[in-house]
Chains A and B, each alone.
Chain A
Amino acid sequence: KQEVTQIPAALSVPEGENLVLNCSFTDSAIYNLQWFRQDPGKGLTSLLLIQSSQREQTSGRLNASLDKSSGRSTLYIAASQPGDSATYLCALNSNSGYALNFGKGTSLLVTP
């Protein structure tokens, strides 16, 4: 069974800092990996999708990488802003099904 872990569970940084969120998984047989953000009480907003054959994806200030051999993905946020404050979730779609396996998320607070 795929286990997805996100570290740290919470993170507080001053505005302007570059930061890295980590996601690790136990089964490298994945179809794709998706990063989401969730604001309190809201649904999930898709940030980046990395297919199994890809190593990284970029969108604006966000860059996500995937290393299947080590079972790790990272989300890099450049020049953080208070509006980036949210919970960031990593989710994997395995080869064997159509369900996303989610980590518990990293709660990010960017202070002005």
Chain B
Amino acid sequence: KAGVTQTPRYLIKTRGQQVTLSCSPISGHRSVSWYQQTPGQGLQFLFEYFSETQRNKGNFPGRFSGRQFSNSRSEMNVSTLELGDSALYLCASSQVGNEQFFGPGTRLTVL
């Protein structure tokens, strides 16, 4: 069974731009979560989707948004990028209430 895939793997943007990251979950997994990882803050929860509905949201500004499609694939969008948005963005999928499996991440650098 294929694992969680994320695209692109690396991204370089400049301040003020916007970016869209994509995540394809493991087949059959309907829950998709997004996390931001930085050296200073560690891993922080962004949001979680199940059946195209956002069920939970972390403490991030409204510039961070996401959505989930009917095939469970998910995208997250960051608008008006700031230098502090530079991070590894990780996506995880799971069957409800069970073990979460992570993708390789997207490394975003904001210049």
Is B72 positioned at the interface, with any CB of A under 8 Å from its CB?
no
Q: Interface digits, B23-60 against A, CB 8 Å rule (1 contact, 0 not)?
A: 00000000101010000001111001010000110100
B33 contacts A43, C-beta separation under 8 Å? no
Total interface residues in chain A, CB < 8 Å: 23
Q: Report Cα–Cα, A99/B31, bound state, in Å.
A: 11
0/1 string, A17-36, CB within 8 A of B gives 1:
00000000000000110101
- Per-position 1/0 for B72-91, Cβ under 8 A of A: 00000000000000001010
User: Which one, B35, B99, B104, contacts A49 given CB within 8 A?
Assistant: B99
Q: Is the pair B102, A99 in contact by a Cβ cutoff of 8 Å?
A: no
Contact partners of B56 in chain A: CB under 8 A = 97-99
Task: Give the complex CA separation of A102 and B100 in angstroms.
Answer: 13
Question: In whole Å, how far is B69's beta carbon from the nearest beta carbon of chain A?
Answer: 18
Interface contact A98-B48, CB-CB below 8 Å: yes
User: Which residues of chain A from 46 to 70 have any CB-CB distance to chain B below 8 Å in the complex?
Assistant: 46, 49
Q: Is the interface of A mostly helix, strand, loop or mixed?
A: strand
Q: Number of residue pairs across A and B with beta carbons under 8 Å?
A: 58
Contacts of B104 in A (CB 8 A): 42-43
A81 contacts chain B at the CB level, 8 A cutoff: no
**Interchain Cβ contacts under 8 Å between A and B, 28 examples:** A36-B102, A42-B104, A42-B105, A43-B4, A43-B103, A43-B105, A44-B92, A46-B99, A46-B100, A46-B101, A49-B98, A91-B43, A93-B97, A93-B100, A97-B56, A98-B33, A98-B50, A99-B33, A99-B45, A99-B48, A99-B56, A100-B45, A100-B100, A102-B35, A102-B42, A102-B43, A102-B44, A104-B42
* Known contacts A99-B33, A100-B45, then 13 further A-B pairs from the complex at CB < 8 Å, ordered by chain A residue: A31-B97, A41-B88, A43-B104, A49-B98, A49-B99, A89-B43, A91-B100, A93-B97, A97-B48, A98-B48, A98-B56, A100-B35, A104-B42
The 10 A-B pairs at the shortest CB distance, nearest first, are namely A99-B45, A102-B43, A44-B102, A43-B104, A49-B99, A43-B102, A98-B48, A97-B56, A104-B42, A43-B105
